[in-house]
Amino acid sequence: MKPRNTTQISEFLLLGLSEDPELQPLIFGLFLSMYLVTVLGNLLIILATISDSHLHTPMYFFLSNLSFVDIWFTSTTVPKMLVNIQTRSKAITYKSCVTQMHFFLLFAGLDIILLTLMAYDRFVAICHPQHYTVIMNPRVCVVIVLVSWIVSALHSLLHSLMVLLLSFCTDPEISQFFYLKIPHFFCEFNQVVQHACSDIFPNDLVMYVTSVVLGGGPLAGILYSYSKIVCSILAISSAQGRYKAFSTCASHLSVVSLFYFTILGVYFSAAATHNSHSSATASVMYSVLTPMLNPYVYSLRNKDIKSALKRHL
């Protein structure tokens, strides 16, 4: 094997969604619009849930936290991408890349946990309504959200520290500069790890274990909750009662489906095609599009949110 330079790199190059210069203004305008809509939509949800006393319930407490997380989830990736397009620079420093990766994992994990908590809230409300106020009291809701932040922070910190232990190599016959090209629009964890020249087995092992625990576990909890919810709804004698019970879950179920199906689609398609640029394009679905659509799915299908927004706007 030819010797490779293992000097610590100073920069990564984010190749983005396309390297065609003619497409950059279109991509910039599209992502700027999506980012502004995401921030505005989620801020309106937070405003409505905080200012309206009718929405001071566990379900809307989790929803406002989800909107807050979605704003930061999108803000970890899109602004840097817009700056790179505007300045015509693809560079991101090594420290900034690891920092971006850390916060992306943090808010992605929080998204998953909050969606699971919202499913559990609906499960208790529909299957055990007589115990709802006891089980989902405000103190319990605050505690489990704080625990969610701690768990997600520890998860992202673990991955970030393990990435810092990796060595990244450059081939002096190919490039005289200390940077690596990442075929993505942000420092996606798997893409960065795969460019390391040291042993990445511990990173892959931790990634698979945490994906099963923090990805598969919540998904199993959501599926279990909704299986019980469906059974309870079908047991309701009146059609109007069934419709009312299902309508309280429809918005959340739509968001869960959109989030999980896009993530699974991204990683299964990436594994099948091994096309990094295709994976980057598909990642837009769960990292940008889903946070943008969440507030509109909830506001358009939720009479309480719509009436609160009308009162304040």
Q: What is the CATH number of the domain that holds 276?
A: 1.20.1070.10
pLDDT at 309: 76
pLDDT at 251: 77
**pLDDT in tens for each of the 313 residues of the chain?**
444 544 567 788 998 888 888 899 999 999 999 999 999 999 999 998 998 888 889 989 999 999 999 999 999 999 999 999 999 888 999 899 999 999 999 999 999 999 999 999 999 998 998 999 999 999 999 999 999 999 999 999 999 999 999 988 765 544 445 578 888 899 988 888 888 888 899 998 998 899 889 888 998 999 999 999 989 888 877 777 777 777 778 777 888 887 877 777 666 655 555 556 667 777 888 889 889 988 888 776 677 787 777 777 6
Cα 153 to chain centroid distance, Å, stands at 14
* Boundaries of domain holding 287: 11-312
Residue 5 lies in a domain: no
Residue 3 lies in a domain: no
Residue 252 lies in a domain: yes
Q: Which two tokens mark 231?
A: 């059974």
pTM above 0.85, yes or no: yes
Residue 247 lies in a domain: yes
Residue 4 lies in a domain: no
What are the φ and ψ backbone dihedral angles of 168, each rounded to 5 degrees?
-115, 130
CB-based burial label for 28 (10 Å; 0-12, 13-18, 19+) = middle
Residue 6 lies in a domain: no
Total domain count for the chain?
Answer: 1
Residue 214 lies in a domain: yes
Residue 2 lies in a domain: no
